[in-house]
Structure 1
Amino acid sequence: MISAAESATHADDVATLAAAFFAPPAELGDLRPVGADDLPADYLTLLAHSGHMTVTLEAWHESLVDVAVAGEVREPDRYARHSLLARRSDGRVVQSGIMRIDLTGLPERVRQAVELGETPLGRILIRSNLLREVELLALWRIAAGPMLAKELAIAPGTVIYGRSARILVEGRPAVELLEIVRP
């Protein structure tokens, strides 16, 4: 299990990842590193694993999830986006996430599907049959800032939790993630 000290080593990486979409950082909220032992039971199940968040959320909420792109940054071989995952059953947003992906080495069909922004990343990677591994890097306690609170339909300052992770594709670090969930 991951500790608060291990999570703390990734604070700068998460700040850099979030800065492209949450400026100033207070719009996202106050992120504090925590360990798995610090998570409430629901969040422990949702966050402390090495699986794709798409699969985990769909199982937890007993509903497929759809993606809505809230912002994106395109470069020749890199793509970043801030997106929301919502339950298909009722449209409730259950995740605010940021991903940055190195597109080099990905098959063209995968690259196009990612940049199209119509399918959750986890579903794209699973369907592509590429060898992939999700590495849990850190866990976060977040006092929601105004923008995050609005996205998740919660009051500013509400404490929620998230994780940062990395996805290896074909053995190569390809995706950086910040995933903030709502049970």
Structure 2
Amino acid sequence: MAKERKNSVRQSIIETASRLFYKQGYTSTGINQIIAESGVVKSTLYSTFRSKEEILMAYLETEGAISDKELKDATEKFEDPKEKILAVFDYLMNIVQKKDYYGCHFLNIVSEVTKEDEVVRSQIKKQKNKVRQLFHQILEPIEKADLSDEIYTLFEGALAGNKVHDDVFPVLNAKKIAEKLLN
């Protein structure tokens, strides 16, 4: 029973912090706001997480798992590797048009931390490398694995371009370029 309660408290803190980090940014979100909005007392938060950075790491791990699953699910609807790649861009098109989309969770955080924040940057790089690996795995059977980093760069560029312009055209253009590369 105590373990279930601890997990519930932990989940509540992560969910609250995730919403706040995503919507208003990591540096703009204070511990006191997380405490107030999650409904936990300060001592409980600090017995669950030693620091705000530890909460951030849990957020990145949680969002990474969600992102990995959604990307994989988007590609599994197809057999053809080209269609799988294009499905990733279609998935991206769908999420960037959502009203509550504030950009890529990982690019948002990496833009807020310094180069010296190696633990955080390493976690972000780990997640981004999973996306690179997904493209590599998709393209390997058709001997186009050498294109995987180019496709990955288009994917990341589309995310960044969408964040800057708050428009779908970077995603549309990235998909068009990917399609040309795969022909």
Tell me the TM-score normalized by structure 1.
0.25
Whose Rg is larger? 2
Q: By percentage of residues, which structure has more helix?
A: 2
Higher relative contact order (CA 8 A, sep 6+): 1
Tell me the TM-score normalized by structure 2.
0.25
